[in-house]
Amino acid sequence: MTGLTHIDAAGKANMVDVSEKTPTRRSATARSIVQLPDAVLAKLADGDIDSAKGAVFQAAIIAGIMGAKKTGELIPLCHPLGMDNCKIDISINDSKELVIDCTATITAKTGIEMEALVGASIAALTIYDMCKAMSHDIVIKETKLIEKTGGKNDFRRS
């Protein structure tokens, strides 16, 4: 099985050995898109949605950061990483969808894109959880890597 870094020569799952790699500055940004029904969007005021559980976006930001910090515990073959920073921004696009961007940074021997993807995903799931009492028509449309720098190859989605 060529090309899969988490599969060894015998075809077994394996954690990538990064012991010989040199630490470099690495950054990754992931994005989740959440479609909210009009009834929920109508609750948007002062840049957040107030729910019975509290300020939705603020809770989602905290949950996303907490999730990113636990990526090595959640994804079996991910290296546990001590992030240098994790930032989550939530905005509304022209289609009236929530755009959640999670950017994680580190100086390390391995990348941080999984942390960014987990952070964006957990923030999206938190928004669903906090708003589901208002409507179950919430849709988490996608989560994708937008950009990564550092390591062997940089990546930017156009």
Residues known to be catalytic: 129
Query: Strand 44-45's sheet: what is its strand order?
Result: 44-45, 48-51, 54-55
* Angle between helical axes of 113-131 and 56-69 (0-180°, round to 10): 150
Q: Round to whole Å and give the CA distance between 91 and 50.
A: 15
> What is the three-class DSSP state of 53?
coil
The answer to whether 116 and 103 are in contact (CB under 8 A) is yes
- Rounded to the nearest 5 degrees, what angle is found at the Cα of 20, between the Cα atoms of 15 and 26? 80
DSSP for 88-144, written as a single string: EEEEE-TTSEEEEEEEEEEEESS--HHHHHHHHHHHHHHHHHHHTTT-S--EEEEEE
What is the rounded CA–CA span in Å between residue 32 and residue 110?
A: 23
